[in-house]
Structure 1
Amino acid sequence: MAIKYIPEPFRIKMVETIKMTTEEERKEKIKEAKYNLFNLKGEDVYIDLLTDSGTNAMSSEQWAGIMNGDEAYAGARSYYRLVNTARDIFGYDYIQPVHQGRAAEKVLFPAFLHEGQYAISNMFFDTTRAHVELAGARAIDCVVEEAKDPSRRCKFKGNMDVKHLEEIILEKGPENVGLVVMTVTNNSAGGQPVSLKNIRDTAEVCKKYNIPLNIDAARYAENAFFIKRDEEECRDMTIKEIINKMFSYGDMFTMSAKKDTIVNMGGMIGVKDPVKNEELVIKIKANCISYEGFITYGGLAGRDLEALAIGLEEGLNEDYLRYRIGQVEYLASRLDDAGIVYQAPVGGHGVFVDAKAMFPHIPYYEFPAQVLAIELYKEAGIRTCDIGSYMLGNDPDTGEQLHADFEFTRLAIPRRVYTQAHIDVMADALIAIKERAHEIKRGYKITWEPPILRHFQAHLEPIEE
């Protein structure tokens, strides 16, 4: 039986009209898009779950901040407000704004990674993996084994496999591991949280071998909520105290602020000890000026800096986070009732449906998660994305199609955007597809792809029987 839906801790002040197309229209539009959900026009989508990145609804305070943003090219008041707020929350003295998360990776990673080196993570997401490879290094995933069984319910399935991490470091040689990346929450593993103990244990291994630890912090507040709820030592701590403790174990962080800071554009880099890491800060500033803009705006307008500073604080509100996680848990409970397998227990920012379980007859190289994503669009105008072999792409050295640990179709829920009725549409569509899943015999093949991050642009077509 579906759990009770948690009421929204806000009221709606403005609405945006969306429309539902017919099934025949959707079939034609996805064909025109070459079966790539990224190629669809936003106006042809009824419920957009492609990503929770930058698709959030800002608050009245943030919109007021937009009007108050200081647009000075250098030293804007809004920059200093952002820096002071971020320092207070994360405890890092150097804060560098950038325009989004991949920009943070582009600016930071070349300082640590080059050809012949490795970066290790509890799991890399697509753009992070790409920036490791663009720097010339190779990315290695090291998530706990529990994460690889979607139906197995246990806490903190996003954790780093610390024992295996040390084995990899010794195998590759500590001098060849340029960076360890701890992703919180673990997006590619299904939005699964990482425990405070696991962050601490990972940091100890990094310190032992003198390897810097970077926190990929896109969903830091959701991760802190899970820690408070499920980790005994943190029950009496505030969300802010937990975040400060989490980040105390890292050396630096990269962040897409388009998630938990509830803005439409923005990102940050943080360095814990800029005096000790003076050379690193100099490199960050140089790369930022070259790629993003002057260091006090980092590719963002002053109004964006202002909204970001406000969102950093709003994202810590426990009532909001309880509703945020509860919305996803409500959808998951409806899928439980229907016997639909997903990465369980559900994570923070969406439901990752196990497309391999829904289409066990479709092999990984025909992309079952992309099949389900396309079927969801045809069924109800819902846009989602593949988090599986299609997204993982080809081996950068051999060019062979990689076989992902998961074949997830991710339903990423934007913050403060959709209501219970929309969530029910999502559940009903998945149930309808499950009932006819046996009728879908084959998947898709790629007819054209770019050399990197192919899923954003690739062309596909259905494989005929």
Structure 2
Amino acid sequence: MRYPSEPYKIKVVEPFAVTTREQRQTFIEEAGYNTFLLKSEQVGIDLLTDSGTTAMSDNQWAGMMMGDEAYSGSRNFLHLQDIVRKYYGFKYIVPTHQGRGAENILSTLMIEDGDYVPGNMYFTTTRAHQERNGASFVDIIIEEAHNSQFDHPFKGNVDLAKLQDLINRVGADKIPYVCVAVTVNLAGGQPVSMQNLREVKALCSRHKIPVMFDATRCVENAFFIKEREEAYRDASIADILHEMMSYADGCTMSGKKDCLVNIGGFLCMNDHDLYQRATEIVVLFEGMPSYGGMAGRDMEAMARGIEESVDYHYIQHRVAQCRYLGDKLTEAGVPIVRPVGGHAVFLDARAFLPHLEQEKFPAQVLAAELYLESGVRSMERGIVSAGRNKQTGEHHKPKLELVRLTIPRRVYTYAHLDDVAEGVISLFKRRDQIKGLKMVYEPRLLRFFTARFEPLK
């Protein structure tokens, strides 16, 4: 396939570290074999996350100079509100410091103890907020999503039969909302079809259950709909995005992804009563309803980023970079999640290291070994990220044990991705030598951020 060139010019450069293997051995030991605990100055190409790592445009930086830092009624908030209404279609917006601030407010407002929140695969912080407020997460994604090698155009789709079965089992009154991620991160950045979104909304409407989107990577989802659903081939990204959002009652947004900014997020809804209650909670946790946890300059950058994000050439190149890296690895026989998603390439750690049992943390050690091999920082998305069952204390054991190579927006070139591929392929050639890890420190919540490990003998 043809990989489109970068639709931007490089105006400012930032050097990154060039280290030796011996140095990296010391660094990863000091970090407890957890790539989250490495210092930025110790990392070369950084594929830890695409959250807040975007390179902002000159237009966004210009907007930063127009920040209205009024404590209430900032003109930047009014601009952001207008832009969100235009492209997402929701009536009300509550700014937050980032996506998990929106998750906190939504969960606090809508969940009661003993509720069930169905979703198309869990996400770490989302489920943590839901459980913190007394709910149980129920996975309703299609089964194909749990098979890394199954090539399905919309592996993020909700299984309507699973959703209906849950409604029949617990009752609609015990389901405060259905959480639909567009795209699904832990399935490999997989999209949801417009047809499926339409059907989920129809089913939920019959039972008077709200639908709330995790809209973090919604523009990527819109691109896949344009590419893979015939009815939308000639539609603009903006029009597809607007229709997608029409099948939700609200959304949480981490602006650090598809809004192309380094900090910020928001909660949206159409229900006025819910909005009024949200403005009370945001004052407690974040700030005034017209800024939440954001500065005026950040809201202006976000408003401009939303407009830039729906440009077809931008999102086409964004997805093409992921495919480029995925194709390089596939050609070398490296097992990855198929098809390649919109924000990352996911290594299948179970297939990469079949000699390691899941309790030996194959994805965690693979991420550490990739850093040791090449200086490339990635992250674990497997048993460590899944955490423990609150009742039994046992590890959650997801079917997918993955390492995420996350590509920041507008930051790296295809030449950088060549270096990443070279490092992964080199590691793959000596994969039989890699041993597992044991966990020596485990925090109570979201352990993947700060847990520490040691190599098994």
Q: What's the offset of the Cα at 1:231?
A: 0.5
SS at match of 1:360: coil
Structure 1 residues 414 and 143: alpha-carbon distance in aligned structure 2, compared to 1, 3 A threshold: same
DSSP 3-state at the match of 2:177: strand
Whether contact under 8 Å (1:49, 1:413) holds in the other structure is: yes
Instruction: Name whichever of 301-310 and 446-455 sits farther off.
Output: 446-455
- 1:189 is the counterpart of 2:204: no
> Counterparts in 2 of 1:399-410, with a 5 A limit?
399-410=393-404
- Which residue of 1 is the match for residue 421 of structure 2? 427
Instruction: Report % sequence identity.
Output: 46
CA deviation after TM superposition for structure 1 residue 173, in Å = 2.1
Counting only pairs closer than 5 Å after superposition, residues 40-79 of structure 1 correspond to structure 2 as 40-79=38-77
Distance 1:42 1:4 in 2: 33
| Range 144-153 or range 400-409, more displaced | 144-153
* Residue matched to 2:92: 94
Between the aligned partners of 1:114 and 1:352, the Cα distance in structure 2 is 35
Determine the C-alpha separation between the residues in 1 that align with 2:262 and 2:34. 23
Q: CA deviation at 1:27?
A: 0.8
Determine if contact 1:5/1:420 at 8 Å carries over to the other structure.
no
Write the letter of the residue equivalent to 1:183: A
Matches within 5 A, 1:264-343: 264-272=262-270, 277-343=271-337
Is 1:460 the counterpart of 2:453? The answer is: yes
1:50-449 pair list within 5 angstroms: 50-272=48-270, 277-440=271-434, 442-449=435-442
Contact 1:199 1:246 in 2 (8 A): yes
Cα deviations by residue, 1:329-360 (Å, 9 ceiling, x for unpaired): 00011011111111111000000110100001
RMSD of aligned alpha carbons: 1.0
Distance 1:224 1:444 in 2: 39
1:89-123 deviation per Cα after TM superposition (whole angstroms, max 9, x unaligned) = 01111011111000000111111112211101001
Confirm or deny: 8 A CA contact 1:4 1:330 kept in the other structure.
no
* Cα deviation 1:308-329 (Å, max 9, x = unaligned): 0000000000001111011110
Cα separation, 2, equivalents of 1:402 and 1:95: 35
Q: Distance in 1 between matches of 2:110 and 2:361?
A: 34
Determine the C-alpha separation between the residues in 1 that align with 2:152 and 2:180.
19
Give the CA deviation at 1:158.
1.0
* CA distance in 2: counterparts of 1:203 and 1:343, whole angstroms: 28
Q: Which residue identity does 1:135 align to in structure 2?
A: N
User: CA contact under 8 A between 2:33 and 2:365: conserved in structure 1?
Assistant: no
Q: Distance in 2 between matches of 1:235 and 1:145?
A: 27
Give 3-state SS (helix, strand or coil) of 1:74's partner: coil
How many residues align structurally? 457
Q: Deviation of residue 298 (structure 1)?
A: 0.7
**Does the 8 Å contact 2:352/2:428 carry over to 1?**
yes
Counterpart of 1:8, as a letter, is E
- Separation in structure 2 between the aligned mates of residue 339 and residue 164 of structure 1, nearest angstrom: 35
CA distance in 2, matches of 1:114, 1:457: 29
TM-score (norm 2): 0.99
SS at match of 2:453: strand
Secondary structure of 1:263's aligned partner: coil
* Amino acid corresponding to residue 380 of structure 2 in structure 1: D
Shift of residue 246 of structure 1?
0.5
1:111-162 superposed Cα distances (whole Å, 9 cap, x missing partner) = 1112211101001211001111111111111111111221121201111111
Q: Distance in 1 between matches of 2:392 and 2:154?
A: 34
The CA distance in 1 between the partners of 2:170 and 2:400, in whole Å, is 25
Tell whether the 8 Å contact from 2:68 to 2:297 is kept in structure 1 after alignment: yes
Aligned to 1:15: 13
Secondary structure of 1:178's aligned partner: coil
* Cα displacement (A) at 1:361: 1.4
What is the CA–CA distance in structure 2 between the aligned matches of 1:231 and 1:258, rounded to whole Å?
27
Say whether the 8 Å CA contact 1:325–1:349 is kept in structure 2.
yes
Instruction: Identify the range of structure 1 (8-17 vs 140-149) with the bigger mean alpha-carbon deviation.
Output: 140-149
Q: CA deviation at 1:393?
A: 0.8
**Offset at residue 456 of structure 1 (A):** 0.6
Could you give the per-residue CA deviations for residues 212-267 of structure 1, whole angstroms, max 9, x where no partner exists? 11000000111000001100111121111111111111011000010011100010
Describe the SS at the equivalent of 1:188. helix
Offset at 1:172?
2.2
Shift of 1:4: 3.9
- 1:297 Cα offset (Å): 0.6
The Cα of 1:450 is off from its aligned counterpart by 1.3
Partner SS for 2:186 = coil
Using structure 1 for the length normalisation, give the TM-score: 0.97
